[in-house]
């Protein structure tokens, strides 16, 4: 999770929600400059405190305490989100070597010109010769020389 504790009041709400209200009164951590100065020791204490609850428990507690926070999700959690599902953000794209790939679709929803995936992600080097010829105007012998030298 990410917690945005940008002032003394938020810090107090954060540590109080975590059952460690005494940290807000500790002379080492009573204000932001001191928390920055004593960051190493504070981080160790906050790590112990935050490990006592699950991410979901923390988010619920901190939202109730008006502490800015949010989850940091892994891919499974991202794609399991009801908003992500409702917007069809996960798409399946057939790939010539990797099989079916689950990818992130465009978040844009355009009524007259819907976004569509026309091809799978390229394989390593799939378009190298094309780009060197078309974009850089390299002749076939120059491309061959780059390949012989192991540059491409």
State pLDDT tens for residues 60-79: 999 999 999 999 999 899 98
How many residues belong to the chain? 152
61 and 20 inside one domain:
yes
CATH of the domain at 45: 3.30.1540.10
98 and 127 inside one domain:
no
Q: What tokens does 99 get? A: 């099989």
Return the closest-CA partner of residue 78 out of 103, 54, 59: 103
- Count of structural domains within the chain: 3
Residue burial 43-63, b: 16+ Cβ < 10 Å; e: rest: eebbeebeeeeeeeebbebbe
Residues 17 and 65: beta-carbon distance below 8 Å:
yes
Q: What tokens does 78 get? A: 């991202």
Angle between helices 55-64 and 8-17 (to 10 degrees): 130
112 and 135 inside one domain:
no
Q: Does residue 85 sit in helix, strand or coil?
A: helix
26 and 50 inside one domain:
yes
This prediction's pTM: 0.65
Given a cut of 90, whether residue 142 has pLDDT beyond it is: yes
Give residue 148's domain range: 122-152
State pLDDT tens for residues 67-114.
999 999 998 999 899 999 998 889 999 998 999 998 888 888 898 998
Per-residue confidence at 152, pLDDT binned at 50, 70, 90? Answer: very high
For residue 84, the tally of other CB atoms under 10 A from its CB is 17
User: Mean pLDDT score of the chain, rounded to an integer?
Assistant: 94
Q: Which residues contact 28 (CB under 8 A, 6 or more apart)?
A: 34, 35, 38, 41, 42
Return the closest-CA partner of residue 5 out of 36, 51, 48: 36
């Amino acid at each position: 999770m990410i917690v945005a504790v940008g002032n003394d009041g938020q810090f107090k709400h954060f540590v109080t929600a975590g059952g460690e209200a005494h940290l807000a009164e500790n002379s080492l951590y009573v204000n932001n400059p001191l928390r920055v100065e004593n960051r190493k020791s504070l981080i160790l204490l906050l790590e112990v405190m935050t490990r006592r609850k699950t991410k979901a428990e923390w988010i619920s507690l901190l939202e109730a305490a008006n502490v800015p926070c949010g989850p940091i999700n892994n891919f499974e959690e991202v794609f399991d989100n009801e908003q992500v599902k409702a917007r069809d953000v996960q798409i399946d794209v057939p790939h010539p070597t990797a099989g079916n790939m689950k990818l992130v679709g465009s978040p844009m929803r355009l009524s007259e010109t819907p976004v569509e995936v026309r091809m799978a992600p390229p394989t390593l080097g799939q378009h190298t010769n094309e780009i060197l010829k078309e974009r850089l105007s390299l002749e076939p012998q120059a491309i061959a020389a780059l390949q012989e030298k192991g540059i491409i």
